[in-house]
Amino acid sequence: MLTQFPLRRLPFLGLLCLLLSVSARAAEPAPDAAAAKAADQLAGVHRIVFLGDSITQGGDYVTDFECWLLAHHLHTEVLNLGLASETATTLTPAENAGHLKQFGFGRPYVDERLARALAASKPDLLFACYGMNDGSSLPADDTGTQRFAAAITHLRDTALQAGVKRVILCTPPVHDEKGNAKQKFHDENLTRYTAWLLSKRADGWEVVDLHTPMRQALDAQRAKNPAFEFAKDGTHPGREGHWLMAREILTETFGANLAGVSSADDLFPAQGTAVRKLVHERMVLLFNAWMTSIGHQRPGVAGGPKAKPGLPLPEAKAKAAEIGKQIDQVLAGGKP
């Protein structure tokens, strides 16, 4: 305490330094509780893998998630292994016929590649976000929900049996029918899937709810501005929607306080846009390499039919390490 010192005996400069020191200590921010919680939860976690459909493959929310880790000096490896068009449920030929007719291929399903992906990537922590494509393909009733539930249960069981230490499931984002009554069933399915997933918390499952806060935010924004949208096509959110997804994952998983933070760029004191760009570049590089190594049945994506392959994994990892050095340089105040 300052009162322990006989202040009248201190030289003026010494007294001034003491007062400044006490003031500086009083102004120091408290340690980030969320970062400490994350560091504790990530102890022994060497690799985090995200599985999902095209929203995950697009990867903006995965990039934002990794940026938060970096901003808090948490350097756990993050891999994006999402796959466009993929379902959690194995669809029947009849259910896949519309997609086959429109795009020339049926929807792939995660079980076709799940064992290979887990064996190759060996995640310690797995996030899985499915439902959007199941919601457009499965029956719009409880039988569809039951099939989705069985598929997600199988995914979770398979991951745990493969040695994944922790599996976190995400409810699906919102589908915005934008007034098209024929598409209303889609989000109704997603709402049922969300309710089922949230009910599994009672059984000890870890579930992050993306659907409910996204629906609340969409409705609130549209009440102010009828033209507001998270997704131009009703399905694939833009950056704002992806940030909402990342925010919910970080908040529910680590207790992150992201009030007033509008994007991952804002997580860094300077050069946030440059850092995020490099993180995303590294994610895409590793995505193409890992998906090529694992293989899948979706055309047009590295590792699938008629798709340009990614780099061999050793070469991709070397390039990723170089990008990592660039990220460190920018974080240290250097130029991107």
Point out the least confidently predicted range of 23-32, 75-84, 122-131, 169-178.
23-32
Query: What pLDDT score does 333 carry?
Result: 85
Given this model, what pLDDT does residue 173 score?
A: 98
Which tens digit of pLDDT belongs to each residue from 33-82?
A: 888 999 999 999 999 999 999 999 999 999 999 999 999 999 999 999 99
Element (H, E) at 84: none
* Residue 30 scores a pLDDT above 90: no
- pLDDT for position 25: 31
> At residue 288, does pLDDT exceed 90?
yes
pLDDT of residue 334: 76
Q: What's residue 161's pLDDT?
A: 98
pLDDT at 312 over 50: yes
- The 10s digit of each residue's pLDDT in 87-119 is 999 999 999 999 999 999 999 999 999 999 999
H helices of the chain, in order, are 12-27, 33-41, 54-58, 60-71, 93-103, 111-121, 132-137, 142-161, 184-199, 211-224, 239-254, 272-294, 313-331
pLDDT score of 75: 93
pLDDT greater than 70 at residue 194: yes
At 206-246, the pLDDT tens digits run: 999 999 999 999 999 999 999 999 999 999 999 999 999 99
Q: Tell me what the pLDDT averaged over the chain comes to.
A: 91
By DSSP bridging, strand 77-80 and strand 125-129 are unpaired
10 pLDDT higher than 50: no
The reported pLDDT for the residue numbered 213 is: 98
pTM of structure: 0.90
Which domains, ranges and CATH numbers included, belong to the chain?
45-269 (3.40.50.1110)
Q: List all residues 6 or more positions away from 77 whose beta carbon is below 8 Å from its beta carbon.
A: 46, 47, 48
pLDDT at residue 133, rounded to an integer:
98
Residues contacting residue 17 through CB under 8 Å, at least 6 positions apart: none
